[in-house]
Amino acid sequence: MTVPISATAAQAHVSPLKVTPASPLFLREDEIRRGIELLYFGYTSMIRGADAILEAQGLGRAHHRSLYFIARRPGLSVGELISLLGITKQSLGRVLNDLGHRELVEQRVGVADRRQRLLTLTASGAALEARLFTELERSMARAYGEAGQQAVTGFWAVLMGLVPPADRPQVEALQS
Amino acid sequence: MTVPISATAAQAHVSPLKVTPASPLFLREDEIRRGIELLYFGYTSMIRGADAILEAQGLGRAHHRSLYFIARRPGLSVGELISLLGITKQSLGRVLNDLGHRELVEQRVGVADRRQRLLTLTASGAALEARLFTELERSMARAYGEAGQQAVTGFWAVLMGLVPPADRPQVEALQS
DNA sequence: GCAGATAAGTCAACATGACTGTCCCAATTT
DNA sequence: AAATTGGGACAGTCATGTTGACTTATCTGC
């Protein structure tokens, strides 16, 4: 964590970042397009920060996503990770093989169901994930700080609204 | 446009989508991770809707991005599009060749600078882009409507905060 | 007017990360 | 005992990105 865990950090910016506010006619095409574009540029800006670290390790974004979710939910099964990432078993297989051979991820046999392989990070895997997380966090914490607490709540609400209702429980479940 | 241009549309949902609000300690790791995850799932949920249309045309997401920005800024140059997409000339070249051969995009010689190739959509290109936009819009309009006008302003503020300040003018410039 | 810079296009080779289809094994469920 | 499920593997393909080098046309500064 590069950000102190204190309320004063949240108050570092007394005046939130000014953006043109949404108008009462906020479903007009212009305002829809503004959301599409900001979502595209915001998303790509955030993840770009981790790319240099990944490239130095010979890894890609697919590896990062797996590391991230294994860090977030230690002991999740291969099937759960496939479901979160929305990719096929074959696609994930190669990524997990890479991460296993580099000793960044370990598998244990499931306790309740011995067919399952439960995924955890090794010490070096956790260290790498922490470095990658710090990059994302730097970007996100700056954005949160500039926009302010109330804006963050709105940010979450719109993003959750983009997720099809059927998929929302899975996203909510990531919150501990 | 599938959404009526009227103030009543914005009031269709009287009670905004409830999400756990950001806490005063909104720079804690948990709340940063929540933003990272919602951004990932929200972004992928939004663009997934257009994939079926693209696949039926034998096109991919790279083609969609080009069509989108050419629709947004008709007459932009190849170099401007490269800058917006953040890819190389070679990568874009293949996409523009595809779109040209299918007669979805046209090039005109620049007026001020005859080295430039200014890009516009053909009638069929505009029709396809409109269908793709409608898919994104359906998702975004639902999210806006569920979250409410004030949330949308916060959504924009955080996303703009994610964009490095040096890149912000380019994003702002897309707004007409 | 000429030299150098710039906008765009192209060729070749390559990496990543997704896909499909098929087959297999072990463990669980019915 | 049979069917289903979780996971792994092989083979092939496709989309989309990369670097490097080269060409052509055009613009700009001296």
> Does any strand C atom come closer than 7 Å to the Cβ of A61?
yes
**Contact between chains at A5 and B21 (C-beta distance less than 8 A):** no
* Closest-lying nucleotide for A117 based on CA to C1': D7
Residues of B in contact with A23 (CB under 8 A): 149
| Average pLDDT score over residue span B21-47 | 89
H or E element at residue B103: none
Q: How far apart are alpha carbons B66 and B19 in whole angstroms? A: 34
pLDDT at B14: 52
Task: Identify the band that residue A19 occupies on the pLDDT scale cut at 50, 70 and 90.
Answer: confident
Torsion of CA A115, A65, B21, A170, to 10 degrees: -30
CATH architecture of B46-174: Orthogonal Bundle (1.10)
CA of B50 to C1' of D11 (A): 30
DSSP state letters, B15-30 = SPPP-PPPPTTTTSHH
Mark which residues 53-112 of B lie under 8 Å from A by CB. Answer: 65, 68, 72, 86
Looking at residue B26, its pLDDT comes to 66
Domain residue limits, chain B: 46-174
- C-alpha A162, offset from chain centre: 16
Model pLDDT, residue A6? 36
Alpha carbons B91 and B114: distance in angstroms, whole number: 23
Q: Could you report the per-residue pLDDT of A71-125, keeping only the tens digit for each?
A: 999 999 999 999 999 999 999 999 999 999 999 999 999 999 999 999 999 999 9
Across the interface, of A9, A42, A153, the residue whose CB is closest to B154 is: A153
| Topology of domain A27-146, CATH | Arc Repressor Mutant, subunit A (1.10.10)
